[in-house]
């Protein structure tokens, strides 16, 4: 007999699944209709059908998103997606993040942006609409298939976000008709994603991915319709838009890494990061080659190939991050949902389409028989694009090692030090690209007078050397050759483009976009270089120990400070005090006051940082930093350990066994030697030596008596240092020991015997620690990090100006 489950809300899921099927059907119908509208231009019925199907597809996509958001927002945990990615404790903005934490939600996000961009294409593309929309709706069809979640010939196609929990999991609980009453809450959002950047980073990134299909579609349409040169003009603004948005999304990801992933920086060459930056590089290269072609007629095939391969690489990035192939090598790849071969088919479909049109039109493609002049801008734009492509090949080759191993059965190991491996290669490529971006600014299209070129180059070169010397002096990074060379290249690019910007301010506004984007990129590189080379940990722990079991397995104790509430500690010129905390479920916000004093003791600066953390059952303590921003630096503070809120002492400070009569816990006994370090609850003890000439008050020593004093230094986490000298006496063949107390730390130490060739026996008694709240925190200073963020903003402004210019040119051309 079928179980009648109680309390389930089935209508939202049924509506959502209906909209998924509608989106797939309408996308497929629109694709077919646009195809035949292109083939049969005289028959307008195909175009009308395509338009109707397209607008129905938009309604369906919005319907999917609305149904899924309703389920998540209302905590309908009968649905697997809502239960897996959200919880009742999440604020609304994190519920939005949980919408795209899973694969299904992120595929929908891609579909949504593609639908919105398609509206613009339909509105503005005029006679390009039919062939361009054919490719776009083909992509929309494939994306919709990823959400179907149906079985075809025994194989599942896609994964539906509207599958019920009892259909996705097998558990005894589902034999109970009222199982929902037993589910108090969902699994919640991954703590690493509970950051405001994750509310805007994925939508921006997927808008960038979605926008890259438009220049691809124009490229395919141009080849298909044999309108070889016409497609480049409308495709260029779209390419610039995609470069701008995808670049902004990538930089937002670095903000997220800086503030949430605790990389100690903003880029870690994680495979998922690499997968997003590869198509960005190739499309940047494509934009530069298109501009070169428009001005010289050279490199048409290269421009077309780069535009097409950029979107194919977006699809490949989707395969890398969603197929599960990177599951063991990336901190934020999706897990496999059984769509491995579906993703492979997605890649193959668009790759084959690209190869077919390039191969079938090969003999017809525009070529220029005249060689390019080496003193022309287009020649060096082409060389710069080529360098970017080679850089991408290196990134792809290393990132794809797991793919090669899976496909060919090889056992190639990824680099041990991934960051050093990529930096070694990409730093060299970056130097060449930056220098070329500077040199190209002094060249004109077609040909430049060598004398003028070298005169301009020399002035900028000398000024760049001076500015590089100033930068090296300020940062005091004198021995890192690669840092100096890369800094020079970035400054050289900045100076050269600043000169061009100066011309733009005199009236040549059409040059402004390119130079501003290059200036922004140069500043970004300078900021990244300086912050990476000069960042330093300021929360240095002189004792090198944190009295928490297992802490050294997660963090470096010497880079962390143990803070008791309301007990000030000196740190890097600041006096810091942990003054309290507050809870906004599921996060606890720890309030840390910073004070800076002058030589007279007067407080010259005071502020409070509130790093937050949450105790995650699966991942332990997950901290999110709080940062104090200055014009020239950031002070980044994160909590690396803290007790649970319902246990002020924390598990690490509990003890087993009874107490002694004096209030001490049961002692621990250890064999020690000179130089050893022992940890106790509130710090550590160093065995400094043995005094063989020790004396005891009121106990005279006779011949043959032996008295030893163990010289100990007790280092508290607060920085205080105490000394103790427990004694061991051998008198008349009997042994005695005389304990030494350090009352401030609740310690008693007994030197109880000497074991020949092994060491000295030390018994350590400890009193239970008072119930004080505490945290362990780490603080890092990032000098001149604002160059990185300012560079990002300036680069985006440059892209916007370039888009406006190209759109204006396009309108003028149409008119």
Condensed to tens digits (0 to 9), the pLDDT of residues 775-785 reads: 999 999 989 88
Tokens linked to 748 = 């008693």
How many CB atoms sit inside 10 A of residue 405's CB? 15
Q: In angstroms, rounded to a whole number, what is the distance separating the alpha carbons of residues 760 and 755? A: 6
In tens, the pLDDT along 749-768 reads 999 999 988 899 999 999 88
Q: Say yes or no: 723 and 738 in one domain.
A: yes
Q: Which ranges in 297-417 belong to alpha helices (H)? A: 300-322, 340-360, 377-399, 401-408
Given this model, what pLDDT does residue 335 score? 56
* Whether pLDDT at 375 is above 90: no
Residue 543 within a domain: no
Q: Between these two residues, 478 and 488, which has the higher pLDDT value?
A: 488
Supply the pLDDT for residue 509.
63
Range with lowest mean pLDDT among 128-137, 224-233, 354-363, 397-406: 397-406
Burial of 450 by CB count in 10 Å (0-12 exposed, 13-18 middle, 19+ buried)?
A: exposed
Q: pLDDT grade, residue 809 (50/70/90)?
A: low
Check whether 656 has a pLDDT greater than 80: no
| Residue 318, in any domain of the structure | yes
d(CA 574, CA 777): 14
Domain count, the chain: 5
Q: Tell me what percent of the residues of the chain surpass a pLDDT of 70.
A: 91
pLDDT score of 308 more than 80 = yes
How far apart CA 478 and CA 71 sit, in angstroms, is: 58
Q: Which of 199-203, 428-432, 466-470 has the lowest mean pLDDT?
A: 199-203
Q: What is the mean pLDDT of residues 798-803?
A: 89
pLDDT tier, 647 (very low <50, low <70, confident <90, very high otherwise): very low
* pLDDT higher than threshold 80 for residue 338: no
| Gap between the Cα atoms of 76 and 10, Å rounded | 10
**348 and 431 housed in the same domain:** yes
User: How far is 516 from 386, CA to CA, in rounded Å?
Assistant: 22
The torsion angles phi and psi of 579, rounded to 5 degrees, stand at -110, -5
Q: In the predicted model, what is the mean pLDDT of the chain?
A: 87
Q: How far apart, in whole angstroms, are the C-alpha atoms of residue 199 and residue 98?
A: 9
In the chain, the percentage of residues whose pLDDT exceeds 90 is 52
Pick the last residue of a domain from 149, 173, 189. 189
Same domain, 779 and 789: no
> What burial class does residue 60 get, using C-beta atoms within 10 Å of its C-beta: 0-12 exposed, 13-18 middle, 19+ buried?
buried
Judge whether 285 lies within some domain. yes
* Same domain membership, residue 200 and residue 325: yes
Model confidence at 770, pLDDT cuts 50, 70, 90, reads low
Partners of 616 in the β-ladder: 620
- Residue 8: what pLDDT? 93
- Whether 655 has a pLDDT exceeding 70, the answer reads no
Helices and strands (H, E) in the chain, number of each type: 20, 23
Report if residue 204 sits inside a domain.
yes
Q: Which of 29-33, 173-177, 612-616 has the lowest mean pLDDT?
A: 612-616
The reply to whether 24 and 147 lie within a common domain is yes
Judge whether 540 lies within some domain: no
How many other C-beta atoms can be found within 10 angstroms of the C-beta atom of residue 399? Answer: 27
Three-state SS for 333? coil
Inform me whether the pLDDT recorded for 53 exceeds 90: yes
Higher pLDDT, 722 or 445: 722
Query: Are 778 and 789 part of one and the same domain?
Result: no
Q: Give the pLDDT band (50/70/90) at residue 340.
A: confident
Local structure of 366: helix, strand or coil: coil
Confidence of residue 812 (pLDDT cuts 50, 70, 90): low
Residue with tokens 């007078």, as numbered in its chain: 449
Task: Identify whether residues 152 and 267 lie together within a single domain.
Answer: no
Any bridge partners for residue 236, and if so which? Answer: none
* Residue 649 pLDDT exceeds 50: no
Cβ pair 563, 774 in contact under 8 A = yes
**Residue 652 in this model has a pLDDT that exceeds 80:** no
List Cβ neighbours of 237 (8 Å cut-off, separation of 6 or more). Answer: 803, 806, 807, 810
d(CA 262, CA 268): 10
Domain boundary among 189, 206, 225: 189
Residue 444 lies in a domain: no
* pLDDT tens, residue by residue, 235-255: 999 999 999 999 999 988 888
In a domain, 805, yes or no: yes
pLDDT of 618 above 90? no
Provide the residue range defining the domain that includes 472.
449-534+785-815
Does residue 24 surpass a pLDDT of 90?
A: yes
Please tell me whether residue 226 adopts helix, strand or coil conformation.
Answer: coil
User: Do the beta carbons of residue 526 and residue 430 sit within 8 Å?
Assistant: no
| Residue 330 pLDDT > 70 | no
Q: For residue 204, what pLDDT is reported?
A: 94
Whether residues 431 and 480 share a domain: the answer is no
Do 211 and 354 belong to one domain?
yes
Q: Say whether pLDDT at 814 is over 60.
A: no
Q: Name the CA radius of gyration of the chain, rounded.
A: 33
Taking only the tens place, the pLDDT of each residue in 546-595 is 878 788 888 888 999 999 899 999 998 899 999 999 887 778 999 999 99
Least confident span in 137-151, 262-276, 345-359, 796-810 = 262-276
CA proximity to 594, closest of 611, 570, 625, 612: 570
pLDDT, one tens digit per residue, over 487-539 is 999 999 999 999 888 776 666 666 678 889 999 999 999 998 898 888 899 99
Banded pLDDT at 316 (limits 50, 70, 90): very high
Other CB atoms within 10 Å distance of the CB of residue 420: 10
- Show the tokens assigned to 80: 């697997």
| Partner residues linked to 150 by β-bridges | 157
Provide the pLDDT confidence category of residue 333 given band limits of 50, 70 and 90. Answer: low
Q: Which residue among 409, 439, 469 closes a domain?
A: 439
Q: Residue-wise over 700-724: b if at least 16 C-beta within 10 A, else e?
A: eeeeeeebbbbbbebbbbbeeebeb
Q: Which of 25-39, 318-332, 477-491, 639-653 has the lowest mean pLDDT?
A: 639-653
Q: Which residue has the higher pLDDT, 179 or 190?
A: 179
Three-state DSSP state, 604: strand
Token pair of 229 as six digits: 């040169």
pLDDT computed for residue 144 by the predictor:
97
Per DSSP, 43 falls in state: -
Asked if the structure places residue 542 within a domain, the reply is no
Q: Say if residue 698 is in the same domain as residue 595.
A: no
Q: What does the angle CA 681 – CA 682 – CA 688 come to, to the nearest 5 degrees?
A: 95
**52 and 165, same structural domain?**
yes
Q: In this model, does residue 366 exceed pLDDT 70?
A: yes
Q: Is pLDDT at 769 greater than 90 in this prediction?
A: no
Q: What does the pLDDT look like over 255-301, one tens digit per residue?
A: 877 766 554 567 778 888 888 899 999 999 999 999 888 888 888 99
Q: What is the pTM of this model?
A: 0.82
On whether the CB atoms of residues 6 and 44 are closer than 8 A, the answer is no
Position 96 confidence tier, pLDDT thresholds 50, 70, 90: confident
Q: Residue 155 contacts by C-beta under 8 Å, 6 or more apart in sequence?
A: none
Task: For the beta carbon of residue 230, count every other beta carbon within 10 angstroms.
Answer: 16
User: In the numeric block, which tokens belong to residue 495?
Assistant: 């100076």
Q: 389 and 521 share a domain?
A: no
Q: What is the DSSP string of 154-218?
A: TEEES--TT-BHHHH---GGGGSTTGGGG--------GGG-STHHHHHHHHHHHHHHHTHHHHHH
At residue 328, the pLDDT reads 54
């Amino acid at each position: 007999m079928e179980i009648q489950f109680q309390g389930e809300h089935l209508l939202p899921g049924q509506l959502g699944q209906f909209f998924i099927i509608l989106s797939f059907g309408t996308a497929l119908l629109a694709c077919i209709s646009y195809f035949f509208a292109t083939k049969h231009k005289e028959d307008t019925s195909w175009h009308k059908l395509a338009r109707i199907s397209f607008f129905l597809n938009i309604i369906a996509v919005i319907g999917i998103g609305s149904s899924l958001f309703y389920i998540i927002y209302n905590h309908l945990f009968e649905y697997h997606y809502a239960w897996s990615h959200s919880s009742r404790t999440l604020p609304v903005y994190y519920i939005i993040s949980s919408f795209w934490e899973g694969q299904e939600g992120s595929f929908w996000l891609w579909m949504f942006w593609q639908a919105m961009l398609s509206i613009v294409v339909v509105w503005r593309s005029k006679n390009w609409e039919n062939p361009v929309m054919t490719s776009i709706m083909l992509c929309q069809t494939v994306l919709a298939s990823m959400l179907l979640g149906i079985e075809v010939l025994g194989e599942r196609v896609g994964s539906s976000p509207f599958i019920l929990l009892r259909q996705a999991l097998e558990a005894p609980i589902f034999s109970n008709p009222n199982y929902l009453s037993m589910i108090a809450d969902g699994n919640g959002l991954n703590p690493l994603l509970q950051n405001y950047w994750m509310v805007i980073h994925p939508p921006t990134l997927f808008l960038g991915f979605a926008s890259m299909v438009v220049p691809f579609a124009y490229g395919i349409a141009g080849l298909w319709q044999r309108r070889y040169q016409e497609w480049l003009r409308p495709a260029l603004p779209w390419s610039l838009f995609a470069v701008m948005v995808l670049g902004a999304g990538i930089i937002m990801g670095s903000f997220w890494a800086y503030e949430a992933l605790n990389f100690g920086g903003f880029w870690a060459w994680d495979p998922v990061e690499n997968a997003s930056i590869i198509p960005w590089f190739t499309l940047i290269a494509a934009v530069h080659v298109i501009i070169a072609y428009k001005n010289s007629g050279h490199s048409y095939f290269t421009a077309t190939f780069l535009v097409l391969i950029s979107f194919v690489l977006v699809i490949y990035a989707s395969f890398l991050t969603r197929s599960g192939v990177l599951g063991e090598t990336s901190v934020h790849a999706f897990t496999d949902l059984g769509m491995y071969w579906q993703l492979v088919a997605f890649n193959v479909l668009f790759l084959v389409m690209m190869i077919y049109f390039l191969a079938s039109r090969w003999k017809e493609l525009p070529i220029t028989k005249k060689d390019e002049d080496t003193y022309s801008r287009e020649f060096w734009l082409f060389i710069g694009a080529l360098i970017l492509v080679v850089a991408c090949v290196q990134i792809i080759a290393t990132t794809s090692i797991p793919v090669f191993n899976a496909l060919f059965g090889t056992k190639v190991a990824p680099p041990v030090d991934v960051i050093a491996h990529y930096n070694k290669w990409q730093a060299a490529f970056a130097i060449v690209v930056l220098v070329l971006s500077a040199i190209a600014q002094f060249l004109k299209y077609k040909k430049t007078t060598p004398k003028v070129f070298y005169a301009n180059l020399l002035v900028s070169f000398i000024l760049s050397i001076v500015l590089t010397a100033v930068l090296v002096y300020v940062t005091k990074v004198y021995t890192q050759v690669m840092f100096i060379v890369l800094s020079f290249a970035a400054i050289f690019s900045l100076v050269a483009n600043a000169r061009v910007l100066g011309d733009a301010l005199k009236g040549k506004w059409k040059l402004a976009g390119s130079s501003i984007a290059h200036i922004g990129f140069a500043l970004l590189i300078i900021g990244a270089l300086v912050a990476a080379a000069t960042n330093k940990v300021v929360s240095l722990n002189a004792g090198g120990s944190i009295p928490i079991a297992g802490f050294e397995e997660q963090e470096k104790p010497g880079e962390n400070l143990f803070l008791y509430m309301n007990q000030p500690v000196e740190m890097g010129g600041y006096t810091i005090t942990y003054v309290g905390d507050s809870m906004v479920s599921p996060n606890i916000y720890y309030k840390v006051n910073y004070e800076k004093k002058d030589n007279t003791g007067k407080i010259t600066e005071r502020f409070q940082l509130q790093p937050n953390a949450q105790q995650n059952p699966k991942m332990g303590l997950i901290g999110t930093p709080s940062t104090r921003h200055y014009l020239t630096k950031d002070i980044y503070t994160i909590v690396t350990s803290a007790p649970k809120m319902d246990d002020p002492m924390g598990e690490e400070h509990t003890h087993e066994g009874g107490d002694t009569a004096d209030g001490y816990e049961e002692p621990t006994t250890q064999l020690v030697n000179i130089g050893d370090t022992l940890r106790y609850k509130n710090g550590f003890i160093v065995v400094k030596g043995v005094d063989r000439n020790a004396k005891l008050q009121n106990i005279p020593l006779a011949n043959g008596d032996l008295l030893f004093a163990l010289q100990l230094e007790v280092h508290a986490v607060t920085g205080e240092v105490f000394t103790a000298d427990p004694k061991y006496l051998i008198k008349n063949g009997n042994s005695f020991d005389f304990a030494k107390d350090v009352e401030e730390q609740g310690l008693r130490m007994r030197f109880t015997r000497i074991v020949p060739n092994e060491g000295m026996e030390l018994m350590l008694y400890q009193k239970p620690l008072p119930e004080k709240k505490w945290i362990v925190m780490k603080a890092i200073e990032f000098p001149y990090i604002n160059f990185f963020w300012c560079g990002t903003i300036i680069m985006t402004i440059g892209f916007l100006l370039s888009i406006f210019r190209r759109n204006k040119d396009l309108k003028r051309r149409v008119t």
